[in-house]
Structure formats: C-alpha cells, structure tokens
C-alpha cells in the first residue's frame, strides 16, 4: 500500500471517496482553459458587437463615480469617509461584469491567453483589434456619461462638488504614480479574472472585494478614471491635453503591463511549467482501489 493510500482517513465508503474527489477545486489547467476559451470567443466577435458592448460598458462605469460622489456628499468630511465611499467604486464593475459588457482590463485581458497559447501574427492582430475597439468604445462612453452628469440638472450642488473632488484626487498623482498605480490596478483586475471561474457562486463578492481595495488604495484604472478626469475637463479645471497625456497614457500603459504580466506569470507560464499528470477520474480511481483490495 502506498504512503498516500495509508494516510487517508479510514472508514470511508467508495461513494464517500468519490464525493471527496469531486469536491476538489478545479486544477490550474482547467481555469486556464476556461479563460482561454472565453478570450477566444471575445476575439471572434464582430466589430459592431464589440463597439456597442464597449460603449455600454463605458456608460455603465459612470455608476462608480456616481455612487462615490453620492456617498461623499452625504458623509462627514475626513479620511474615514473614504472607507465607506469606496464601496461605491464597485457599482460600475458589478454592472459591467455581470451584464457581460466589454471592459478594457477585464474581457480584453482574457484575450491575451489565446495569443500566448498560439503566438501567431494573426492572433496578435486579433488581440490588437479587440483592444483598440474596446478601449475606444469605453472611453467614448465614459466621456459621454461625464458630460451628462455635469450638464444635466440631475444632482444637487453638494454632489456636483463631490464629483469634482473625486477627479481632483486622481490628478494629484504625477506621471510616475499614474503609471505605478495603474500596474497594481491591472494586476488586481487580472487576479479577479483568474479567481472568478473557480468561484462562480461567489462572483459578486470577488468583484466587490477586489474593486473595493482598488478604490481604497487609490489605484488608477483607465476606464473609471476616465469618467472622473473627463468630468474635470468638461468643467474646465483641466485641459483635454492633460487628460490624455497626464492621466490616460500612463494609466493605460500601467494597466496593460500589470494585467498582461499577471496573466503571463500565474496562468500561462504556470501551465507550461506544470509537468504533472492530471488526476485520474473517480471511476478509474475506484477500479484501481477494487483491484488493490482483491490482491489483499
């Protein structure tokens, strides 16, 4: 009898042992294939489908700034208010991810895996096509929703002021901070993408946890931040040149590096380095155990 067999809990029936094997979390290779398959599906979508889904996602991300502004306007001033108001940051992500809309740094990062699995010029071209269409759609939606939030008589003056304060806080970062915080933000979103397939029943809590920490840490995200900073631009507090060069460019590069790096590190490279054989299915395991008992 092997050491593994002897260390098992005694007294378990065959059905109970099968139940144990079936309740194991999916292997890393399974998660990799789920995400790779999802990414391949995204790469196959038409330009029109990508554009309208990305535009809808950009509009939906306005919920994050809206919720944060509403919280800040109704909370007492002080650092402690950020602990509560940061919950609002998750609103846009929940709407976009649960509605399966195209969000740059989420759906677009899953498409990295098919390229890593089969690094051809055709796949690279498909990835760049997806990234460019989704990014443009997201930015168009965020710029539009920030214009609506500023110019339509929707919110009271205190909430409008809170929106400005949220944008000003983002612009307190210099170029290096925008970039560095963007790397962390991209890494966190990639980690979220990796976690969700193994815990679909807890998807909402995973999204809440990751995005809440992003807000609490003031990490920069190209889509949410575009709502916040374009609001300042529409209000005349910053120029559009500042929006594109001081915020969008370093944040975007940071998000891509952080997200792509974590995919390469914990998903694709891990699978390529895994030389172990997959576990035997329950039925095969039970047959092998039966043979061992008959020999004994």
Domain ranges of the chain: 26-274
Phi, psi of 83 (to 5 degrees): -60, -35
Percent of the chain with pLDDT over 70: 81
What token pair was written down for 83?
Answer: 């602990």
Q: What confidence score (pLDDT) does residue 129 get?
A: 94
Q: What confidence score (pLDDT) does residue 273 get?
A: 64
276 pLDDT above the threshold of 60? no
294 pLDDT above the threshold of 60? no
Measured CA to CA, the distance from residue 113 to residue 196 in angstroms comes to 16
Q: Which residue has the higher pLDDT, 104 or 108?
A: 104
Residue with tokens 């944040």: 251
267 pLDDT above the threshold of 80? no
Q: What confidence score (pLDDT) does residue 7 get?
A: 55
Contact between residue 182 and residue 252 where contact means Cβ atoms under 8 Å apart: yes
87 pLDDT above the threshold of 90? yes
Quickly name the fold that domain 26-274 has: Glycerol uptake facilitator protein (1.20.1080)
| C-alpha dist (Å) from residue 45 to 26, 38, 109, 112, 291 | 28, 11, 15, 15, 50
pTM: 0.83
Task: Convert the pLDDT of each residue in 225-255 to its tens digit.
Answer: 999 999 999 999 999 999 999 999 999 999 9
Which of 73-82, 147-156, 160-169 is least confident? Answer: 73-82
Measured CA to CA, the distance from residue 223 to residue 141 in angstroms comes to 9
On average, the pLDDT of the chain sits at 86
> CB-side exposure of 206: number of CA atoms within 13 Å?
18
Which of 17-31, 127-141, 147-161 is least confident? Answer: 17-31
């Amino acid at each position: 009898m092997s050491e593994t067999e002897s260390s098992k809990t005694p007294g378990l029936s065959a059905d109970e042992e099968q139940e144990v094997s079936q309740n194991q979390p999916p292997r890393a290779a399974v998660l990799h294939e789920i995400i790779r398959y999802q990414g391949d599906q995204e790469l196959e979508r038409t330009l029109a489908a990508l554009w309208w889904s990305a535009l809808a996602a950009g509009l939906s991300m306005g919920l994050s700034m809206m919720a944060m502004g509403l919280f800040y306007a109704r909370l007492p001033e002080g650092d402690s208010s950020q602990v509560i108001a940061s919950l609002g940051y998750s609103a846009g992500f929940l709407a976009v991810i649960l509605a399966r809309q195209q969000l740059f740094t989420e759906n677009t990062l899953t498409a990295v895996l098919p390229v890593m699995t089969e690094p051809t010029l055709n796949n690279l071209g498909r990835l760049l096509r997806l990234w460019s269409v989704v990014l443009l759609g997201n930015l168009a939606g965020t710029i539009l929703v920030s214009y609506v939030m500023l110019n339509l008589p929707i919110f009271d003056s205190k909430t409008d002021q809170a929106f400005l304060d949220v944008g000003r806080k983002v612009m307190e970062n210099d170029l290096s901070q925008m970039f560095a915080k963007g790397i962390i933000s991209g890494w966190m979103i990639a980690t979220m993408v990796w976690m969700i397939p193994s815990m679909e029943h807890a998807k909402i809590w995973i999204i809440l946890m990751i995005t809440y920490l992003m807000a609490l840490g003031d990490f920069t995200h190209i889509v949410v931040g575009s709502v916040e900073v374009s609001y300042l631009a529409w209000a005349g507090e910053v120029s559009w040149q500042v929006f594109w060069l001081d915020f969008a460019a370093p944040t975007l590069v940071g998000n891509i590096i952080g997200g792509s790096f974590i995919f390469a590190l914990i998903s694709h490279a891990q699978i390529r380095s895994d030389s172990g054989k997959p576990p035997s299915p329950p039925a095969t395991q039970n047959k092998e155990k039966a043979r061992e008992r008959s020999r004994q």
